[in-house]
Every structure is written in structure tokens, then in C-alpha cells.
């Protein structure tokens, strides 16, 4: 017995996303997945799901959803002024909703993408190992398209006859800050095509401030700023494999950061690649945001990724069928990252 989520408004661009469709780029399928994987993972932890369970990703303007059944939910990521039955609710914490409740989100205040998790995950098709929707490839629930008014998605868990619900919230110091007036420092690894750029071009890339343009989506982010100078005839290459976070510089000299639904190959030289831990920062950026690139080496990028991995390993998540405990209490107090809420 599940819970139906009835969409009274689909928002601006709302899709189902998990950690992505890995291992299929050789077949021409993009990875897809959440643009902010940190927010998605925390949303799942708060309701006792596996880290990589699918969530609802909302961009710029949130959805309006009525719940047909009781559910345990969490909202993370961008602040979209969420309410339940017109009463404000907080993000980054566990929330119980009752049958008939209406969750409504508005335009973003800070950040760009909000994530909604529901305990038990969503009953949607798994294609090539992932529940992620990819509109361009027409893969996922509703043929991969964005969610619309009138759509219904079922969650796989129901709270009926469950007792002793526990509620948790992420400690304030671990909640990312999405302030619009700050310069976003994005750590990158050099290359792999840095030899295609002049010394002046490379200095321009690392010493300049760039702005996110209105041409940004789940495929890539075009940036505005000083022109990055190529060496003669180095503006195009023979097409090769590309990865999420690659920063291509076409003949115009304006960089493009490739994101979750980038194509599997491309022919523009890549001046640098975003460190995996900072991809979520890109995913929460919107038009007008300022970006400055900071060069780090591969060893540091791996160290940062390991540190983030350890952050999540500190939580031993499990589901107790009788009392719905969400976190291993011993590890919860040991890590001191979450705190239990008084209800």
C-alpha cells in the first residue's frame, strides 16, 4: 500500500532524479541524475531511504502536491518557501504529512534546485539501472518529460499503523549556503586540453570573474566573461569522450560547464574539469551568479571526495519495521551531525 502524490501544479521544471545512469555512455546515454547530489543524499537520509534513492528535483519554481495517504518527507536544497496547508515548514528536516495535506513551493529565494524525498522512494520505471528522467532521451516516468499538473506519482511506503516516529534535522553548520551576493569559488583540475590555450588564455580563465548566463540547464552552463584565448586552430578538436564537470571553451572563447545531461562526446577543448565535490555548487547556481575558478591537483580533488564520502558514512541508516527508527542511534550521537527534534 503506497501513497499517491497528486500534482496540482508541476512547477517550472520538475523531474525524478537519483544518482544517475552510470555505465551507459558508450551506448550514447548521458548519466543524468541530480544536479545537487549532496542535497539529494541528505534528503534521503532524513527519511531513512538509501542514499541513492530517487527524489523529486524542482528547478526555480516548485510544485504543488497533494498527498493521498500519510507519508514521511524531507525538503533540501534551494529555499522555495515551502508550506503545508499554507503553514510555513522548514527544510533540511523530517516532516510527517497527513492524507489530504497540500505541499506548496514557490519561486526560489536562494539557490536554484530543491529536492523532495518521500520515505520508501517512488514507484517509477528503472531504466538502465536508474529512475532518473532524461527529457532529451525520453527516458523515465512519463516518457522522461517534466512533471505536469494532474500527474500522479506513487511512493512505496505507508505510515498507517506505525508508531514512535522519529524526526531529525541536519545541524545548521552543515547546511550549504546559497547566498546570491557571494562569489562562488569552483575548484577545478587542469585540462585535459590545457595545451590548446595560450598562456594568456589560461591566466584569463583562472584570474577572471565569470557570470552564469540565462543559457543554463541540466545539459550545461554558459558563462559570460573575458574571452579565453586559444592557440591558432585549437578551438576545435576531433570529438572525444567528455565527463560531467568538463569546462569546454568553443571558438567564441566563452566557457561552458557541462552538467548532468551533457552529451557523451564533444569536439571543443576542455580547459579544466570541476572537482566532483563542487558539482553541487554549480547545480545550485542560476543566471547572474558569479563564479571564480580555483586550480587544485588531482590528489586534493580525490581527498575532498573521500572527505565527503566519510561524511555520509557516519550515518548508519536502516529501517525498523516496528518503530520506524531512521538512524542507528549510537552512530547518530557519535557523528553528531544530525540532531533529534522535539515533536
Predicted pLDDT at 323 = 33
Written as nine digits, the cell of 48 is 531513512
In Å, the largest CA–CA distance within the chain is 70
Give the model's confidence band at 180: pLDDT under 50 very low, under 70 low, under 90 confident, else very high. low
119 pLDDT above the threshold of 70: yes
64 close to 105: Cβ distance less than 8 angstroms: yes
Predicted pLDDT at 326 = 38
Residue 294, burial from CB neighbour count under 10 angstroms (0-12, 13-18, 19+): exposed
Predicted pLDDT at 265 = 79
Element of type H or E holding 6: strand 3-9
- Choosing among 1.10.540.10, 2.40.100.10, 1.20.1250.20, 2.30.30.140, the CATH entry for 183-296 is 2.40.100.10
Mean pLDDT of 70-98: 94
318 pLDDT above the threshold of 80: no
Give the model's confidence band at 136: pLDDT under 50 very low, under 70 low, under 90 confident, else very high. confident
- DSSP of 28-49, one letter per residue? T------S-HHHHHHHHHHHT-
pTM, rounded to two decimals: 0.89
Mean pLDDT of 264-277: 89
115 close to 34: Cβ distance less than 8 angstroms: yes
332 close to 338: Cβ distance less than 8 angstroms: yes
Give the model's confidence band at 333: pLDDT under 50 very low, under 70 low, under 90 confident, else very high. very low
Predicted pLDDT at 172 = 82
157 pLDDT above the threshold of 70: yes
Give the Cα separation of 125 and 133 in Å (integer). Answer: 9
Predicted pLDDT at 272 = 96
Angle among Cα 35, 36, 40 to the nearest 5 degrees reads 115
Mean pLDDT of 189-198: 91
- Catalogue the long-range contacts made by 171-176 (C-beta closer than 8 Å, 24 or more residues apart): 171/336, 171/337, 171/338, 171/339, 174/337, 175/92, 176/38, 176/39, 176/280, 176/281, 176/284
Which of 119-133, 164-178, 306-320 has the lowest average pLDDT? Answer: 306-320
Predicted pLDDT at 23 = 85
What are φ and ψ of residue 28, in 5° steps? 95, 5
The mean pLDDT value of the chain amounts to 86
- Conformation bin of residue 311: beta by default, left when phi > 0, alpha when psi is -120 to 50: alpha
SS3 at position 239:
coil
Give the Cα separation of 72 and 308 in Å (integer). Answer: 26
What is the residue extent of each domain of the chain?
3-178+315-340, 183-296
211 pLDDT above the threshold of 80: yes
Amino acid at each position: 500500500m503506497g501513497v499517491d502524490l497528486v500534482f496540482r501544479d508541476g512547477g517550472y521544471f520538475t523531474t525524478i532524479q537519483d544518482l544517475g545512469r552510470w555505465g551507459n555512455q558508450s551506448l550514447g546515454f548521458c548519466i543524468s541524475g541530480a544536479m545537487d547530489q549532496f542535497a539529494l543524499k541528505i534528503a534521503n537520509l532524513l527519511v531513512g531511504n538509501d542514499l541513492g534513492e530517487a527524489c523529486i528535483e524542482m528547478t526555480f519554481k516548485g510544485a504543488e502536491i497533494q498527498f493521498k495517504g500519510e507519508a514521511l518527507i524531507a525538503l533540501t536544497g534551494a529555499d522555495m518557501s515551502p508550506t503545508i496547508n499554507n503553514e510555513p515548514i522548514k527544510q533540511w528536516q523530517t516532516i510527517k504529512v497527513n492524507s489530504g495535506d497540500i505541499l506548496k513551493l514557490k519561486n526560489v529565494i536562494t539557490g536554484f534546485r530543491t529536492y523532495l524525498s518521500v520515505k520508501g522512494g517512488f514507484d517509477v520505471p528503472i531504466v538502465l539501472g536508474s529512475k532518473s528522467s532524461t527529457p532529451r532521451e525520453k527516458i523515465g516516468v512519463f516518457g522522461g518529460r517534466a512533471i505536469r499538473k494532474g500527474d500522479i506519482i506513487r511512493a512505496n511506503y505507508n505510515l498507517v499503523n506505525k508508531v514512535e516516529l522519529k524526526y531529525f534535522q541536519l545541524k545548521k553548520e552543515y547546511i550549504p549556503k546559497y547566498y546570491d551576493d557571494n562569489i562562488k569559488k569552483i575548484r577545478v583540475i587542469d585540462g585535459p586540453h590545457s595545451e590548446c590555450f595560450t598562456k594568456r588564455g589560461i591566466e584569463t580563465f583562472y584570474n577572471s570573474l565569470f557570470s552564469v548566463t540565462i543559457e543554463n540547464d541540466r545539459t550545461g552552463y554558459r558563462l559570460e566573461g573575458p574571452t579565453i584565448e586559444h592557440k591558432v586552430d585549437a578551438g576545435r578538436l576531433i570529438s572525444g569522450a567528455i565527463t560531467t564537470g568538463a569546462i569546454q571553451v568553443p571558438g567564441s572563447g566563452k566557457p561552458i560547464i557541462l552538467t548532468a545531461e551533457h552529451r557523451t562526446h564533444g569536439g571543443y577543448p576542455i580547459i579544466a574539469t570541476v572537482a566532483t565535490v563542487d558539482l553541487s555548487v554549480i547545480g545550485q547556481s542560476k543566471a547572474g551568479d558569479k563564479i571564480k575558478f580555483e586550480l587544485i591537483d588531482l590528489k586534493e580533488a580525490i581527498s575532498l571526495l573521500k572527505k565527503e564520502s566519510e561524511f555520509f558514512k557516519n550515518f548508519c541508516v536502516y529501517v525498523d519495521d516496528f518503530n520506524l527508527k531512521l538512524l542507528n542511534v549510537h552512530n547518530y550521537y557519535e557523528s553528531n551531525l544530525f540532531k533529534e527534534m522535539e515533536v
